[in-house]
Structure 1
Amino acid sequence: MKSKTLATWLAFVGGTFGAHRFYLHGWRDWLGWLLPALTLVGGYGVLRMWSLGQDDAISWVLTPVLGFTFAGCCLTAIVYGLQKPEQWNARFNPAQAADAPAGQTGWATVWAIVLALMVGAAVLMASIAISFQGYFQNQVEAGREISR
C-alpha cells in the first residue's frame, strides 16, 4: 500500500531527487530520473554564481532551474496531500477499499502541505527574482554598449 502521508513528505523533502516518484512508480520512472538531473544542473548554476559572482550569465540561467524544480516538487506535495482518500486509493492502492487508511489525511499530512506551501512559495519567488535580475541587468549593460 502506498501511503499518502509518506508520498507527500517524500515530495517535499526528497522531491528534487525523485524520491516520491520512485516510491509511487518504481525505479523505472523516467521522470524520477529527470528530477536529479535538473537538480544537478541547478546546483551547478549555484556553484558558478558563488565562484564567479552574479554577473555570470550562465549562472543566472541555471540557478533558477534548481528553484523551479524544488517549487514544482512542493506543488506536487500539496497536490498529493490534498487528494481525497478515495482518489488516492483508486490511483495508488486499487486493490484496497476506497477508505483504506493509506489514503487518509492526518496531521502529518497537513503539516507537510503547510510547509510545502510556505517553503515552495519562497523558493519560487527567489528563483523568479534571480532570473529577472540577471536578465534585466544584461539588458541594461547591452543598452549601455549600444549608446557608446
Structure 2
Amino acid sequence: MKNKTVAAWLAFVGGPLGLHRFYLHGKGDLLGWLLPVPTALGLYGLERVQQNGLDDLWSWVLIPLLGFTMAGCALNAIVYGLMTPEKWNARFNPSASKDAAPGRTNWFTIGVISLALLVGTTALMSSLVFSFQRYFEYQIEEAHKISQ
C-alpha cells in the first residue's frame, strides 16, 4: 500500500534524488534514476560560483537546473497531497478500496503541501531571477566589448 502522505514528503524532501519515484514505481523507474543528474549539475554550478565568483558563465546555466528540479519536485508533492483518496488508491493502490486509509489526507499531508508551496515557489522564482539577471548582465558585457 502506497501512502499519499509518505509519497508527498518523499517528493518534497528527497525529490531531487528521485526517492518519491522509487517509492511509487520501484527501483526500475527511469525518471527516478535521471532526477539526480540535474540536481548534481546544479550543485556543481553552486560550487563553480564559490570557486570562480558570480561572473562564471557556466554557473548561471547550471544553477537553475537545481532550482527547477526542486520546484518540480515540490509541485509533485503538492499534486500528490491534493489528490483525492479515490484517485490515489485507483492509481497507486488498485487492489484497495476507493477510500482506503493510505489515500486519505491528514495534517501531515497539509503540512507538506504548505511547505512545498513555500519552498517550491521560492526555488522557482530564485532560479528564474538568477538566470535572467546573469544572462542580461552577460549580454551587456558583450555589448560593451563590441562597442569598444
> Aligning the two structures, in what range does the TM-score lie when normalised by the shorter sequence?
over 0.9
Could you report, residue by residue, the CA deviation over 1:42-93 in whole angstroms, capped at 9, with x for unpaired residues?
Answer: 1101100111011011011001100000000000000000000000000000
Alignment of structure 1 residues 40-119 onto 2, 5 Å: 40-119=40-119
In 1, distance between residues paired with 2:85 and 2:147?
62
Alpha-carbon distance between aligned partners in 2 of 1:144 and 1:111, rounded to the nearest angstrom: 49
Structure 1 unaligned residues grouped into runs of 5+: none
Give the CA deviation at 1:104.
0.1
RMSD (Å) for aligned C-alpha atoms: 0.5
Matched with 2:26 is 26
Cα distance in structure 2, aligned partners of 1:27 and 1:141: 47
Q: CA deviation at 1:147?
A: 1.1
- Counterpart AA for 1:11: A
Corresponding letter in the other structure for 1:145: K
Aligned length: 148
Q: How far apart are residue 37 of structure 1 and its match? A: 1.3
Alpha-carbon deviation of 1:146?
Answer: 1.4
Aligned to 2:125: 125
After the TM superposition, which residues 129-144 of structure 1 pair with which residues of structure 2 at under 5 Å, given as runs? 129-144=129-144
User: Structure 2 length as normaliser, TM-score?
Assistant: 0.99
1:40 CA drift (Å): 0.6
Q: What TM-score do you get using the length of structure 1 for normalisation?
A: 0.99
